[in-house]
Structure 1
Amino acid sequence: MSRPVLTIIAGSNGCGKSTLTRGAREEFQQNPVLDPDAIAKSLQATYGSPSNIEAGKQVLRIAEELIENRQSFTVETTLSGGTYLRMADRAKRAGFDIRVFFIGTTSVEINIERVKARVRKGGHDVPEEDQRRRYPRTLANMKKLLPSAGFAGILDNSTPKGHTVVGYGVGANMHWIEPLPDWAAGLRT
């Protein structure tokens, strides 16, 4: 019997997490995808107002059920707090393999502009001050998560080329593709 897998797709607001999961459906959508933003949008359609807090609570409830049932799943997260670090730890203790795909950009300014563009197209907004606060936290928490990953893929999404692999591997045995963006160099252990 194969081990269940928790796949974490992480990165700051506006980095391209949802674009990656939509574009690589075969890779990321074979199992349930828990995306707080999508759940908040669904709540808005149902109840008329978005509830990011309720969406976050739903993601955590569903994730706990999936861990308890040893069912593989994927989460999208900014990884700016400790919640998903604790989730990964619980899943690993429950026998899950942890796979992480981290998407970074060379500057929070790129992300801020992408969020503004998303809003112009009818997507959800994230206050600029939240984006600026989360950007360094996201990188710091990824550095904490990296050693426990059974596999990690690190992607740069700073340019119109889209997601470009800059690192992959397992924990301390990462293969880094030079030249590394400054933000990715900070993830080396």
Structure 2
Amino acid sequence: MSHKSHVDFVEKALKLGFEPYLYYICTSNPEINQARVAQRVSGGGHDVPTDKIISRYNSSLSLLHDMVINCRRAYFFDNSSERHLHFAEATPDGYLDIYESVFNKIDSDWFVESVLKKWDRSKIRSARVT
């Protein structure tokens, strides 16, 4: 999702009556992604240049809010550790539900800057993990 064409594609799908869902998995910083690529390369996998990793990371985050508002529902996961931690979701009624017990365990700067600060404050609520 590092190019605006991805957002445009989802906007078109929405206009055609589709109900897009987004599962957004991110790490707290691109250095984690670089280390994972290096690990993959050491195991015989393909490389990705560091500058591309960083630019894609930043581009993806810059487009995230626009993508979310074009989706019926969006789920947010942090993958900085060994686990995918589901810590928030955007609901069909326009709310952003934050699962604080999980949210407080992650380095959430990427989410705060890319989504939370851009969201209507009256539509942010704390939710319990079920």
Return the TM-score normalized by structure 1.
0.55
Q: Quote the residue 2:124 is aligned against.
A: none
Q: Quote the residue 1:147 is aligned against.
A: 69
Q: Percent identity?
A: 27
Q: Quote the residue 1:170 is aligned against.
A: 91
- Give the 4+ runs in structure 1 shifted more than 6 A: none
Q: Quote the residue 1:185 is aligned against.
A: 112
The within-5 A match list for 1:16-55 is none
What is the alpha-carbon distance in structure 1 between the residues aligned to residue 46 and residue 20 of structure 2? 29
What is the alpha-carbon distance in structure 2 between the residues aligned to residue 94 and residue 116 of structure 1? 41
Gaps of 5+ in 2: 120-130
What is the alpha-carbon distance in structure 1 between the residues aligned to residue 96 and residue 44 of structure 2? 38
Deviation at 1:124, TM superposition (A): 2.1
Return the TM-score normalized by structure 2.
0.78
Deviation at 1:177, TM superposition (A): 2.1
What is the alpha-carbon distance in structure 1 between the residues aligned to residue 78 and residue 95 of structure 2? 19
Q: Quote the residue 1:25 is aligned against.
A: none
What is the alpha-carbon distance in structure 2 between the residues aligned to residue 173 and residue 96 of structure 1? 20
Deviation at 1:169, TM superposition (A): 2.7
**How many correspondences in the alignment?**
110
Q: Find the residue that maps to 2:47 and give its secondary structure.
A: coil
What is the alpha-carbon distance in structure 1 between the residues aligned to residue 30 and residue 70 of structure 2? 26
Gaps of 5+ in 1: 1-78
Deviations, residues 152-175 of structure 1 (Å, cap 9, x unaligned)? 100000012x10001113263110
